[in-house]
């Protein structure tokens, strides 16, 4: 067990998916917020667009669950994944990392993805799950540029969430680096489109090809 301010993080040696574990626990009534779980190894993790995120020991596999009422009142629900991602990015940045966020919630070092965040709403509960390559990654992915343990990131993220920093403050930092998205693409309605002409709105959504797109993952 790893203690947070008001949350005890349940840490396992191995688990199929921290995200699915929390979701199933909420649906069955065996878990309630606040709750957090991490694992040394994850065998059936879930990535963006339903892709599998499998990782080796030493990387970060972590999920946290909070009630909606315990989040900042100005936080747009559709942009919770951006909020959690931005909090994590700030933690890593303060430790010396040059990681940046590709819209909406992928962690990048230069042109290589090093991790991602997904969120799911179950009733009045929000589940946020993060995977980060801290020590190793497949060839097409990158590894974080600082040395930090999975448990350290998990604890710092729980503490950051508990501080309830306003969306306005978090987003003001997030949008400064949005220009870095211009060289990348995004999956929209089943096709790959460029983010070069995307316009970022104050609620975290973007306007792309005359459509308002939210971070619904």
198 located within any domain:
no
What is the rounded distance in angstroms from the CA atom of residue 109 to the CA atom of residue 146?
11
Q: Specify if 206 maps to a domain.
A: no
**Stated pTM of the model:** 0.91
Cβ neighbours for 72, distance < 8 A, ≥ 6 positions apart = 83, 164, 165, 166, 167
Rounded Cα gap, residues 51 and 207, in angstroms: 25
CA distance 152 to 25: 25
Residues 149-173 as b/e (b if ≥16 CB within 10 A, e otherwise) read ebeebbbbbbebbeeebebeebbee
- Closest C-alpha to 130, from 195, 38, 32: 38
Residue 201 lies in a domain: no
Residues β-bridged to residue 108:
100, 113
Would 205 be classed as within a structural domain?
no
Q: Is 94 left (phi over 0), alpha (psi -120 to 50) or beta?
A: alpha
Total number of domains constituting the chain: 1
CATH number assigned to the domain comprising residue 107: 3.30.930.10
Q: Is 127 part of a structural domain of the chain?
A: yes
Q: Is residue 14 part of a domain?
A: yes
Q: 191 lies in a domain?
A: no
pLDDT recorded at residue 2: 57
**So what's the pLDDT on residue 188?**
79
CA gap 135, 70 in Å, rounded: 33
Q: What pLDDT, on the 0 to 100 scale, is given for residue 161?
A: 96
- Res 11: pLDDT: 98
- Distance, in Å, from the CA atom of 41 to the CA atom of 10, rounded to the nearest integer, reads 14
Chunked into runs of 10 residues, the chain (217 residues) has average pLDDT values of 70 95 97 96 67 73 96 95 97 98 94 95 96 92 97 97 96 96 86 90 92 76
Host domain of residue 41: 2-175
Neighbours of 119 (CB within 10 A): 25
pLDDT on residue 97:
99
| pLDDT confidence of residue 54 | 56
**Strand arrangement, sheet containing 206-208:** 199-200, 206-208, 211-213
Give the pair of three-digit tokens for residue 77: 């629900």
132 within some domain: yes
């Amino acid at each position: 067990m790893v203690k947070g301010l008001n949350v005890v993080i349940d840490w396992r040696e191995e688990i199929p998916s921290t995200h699915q574990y929390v979701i199933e626990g909420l649906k069955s009534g065996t878990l309630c917020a606040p709750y957090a779980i991490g694992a040394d190894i994850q065998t059936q993790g879930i990535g963006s667009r339903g892709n599998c995120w499998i990782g080796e020991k030493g990387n970060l596999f972590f999920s946290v669950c909070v009630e909606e009422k315990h989040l900042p009142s100005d936080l747009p629900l559709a942009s919770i994944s951006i909020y959690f991602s931005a909090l994590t990015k700030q933690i890593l940045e303060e430790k010396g990392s040059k990681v940046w966020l590709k819209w909406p919630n992928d962690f990048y070092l230069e042109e290589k993805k090093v991790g991602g965040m997904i969120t799911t709403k179950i009733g009045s509960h929000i589940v946020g799950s993060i995977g980060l390559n801290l020590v190793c990654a497949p060839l097409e992915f990158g590894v974080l540029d600082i040395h930090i343990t999975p448990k350290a990131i998990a604890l710092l993220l729980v503490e950051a969430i508990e501080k309830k920093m306003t969306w306005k403050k978090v987003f003001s930092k997030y949008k400064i680096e949005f220009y870095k998205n211009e060289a990348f693409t995004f999956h929209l309605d089943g096709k790959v489109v460029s983010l070069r002409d995307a316009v970022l709105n104050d609620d975290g959504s973007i306007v792309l090809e005359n459509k308002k797109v939210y971070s619904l993952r």
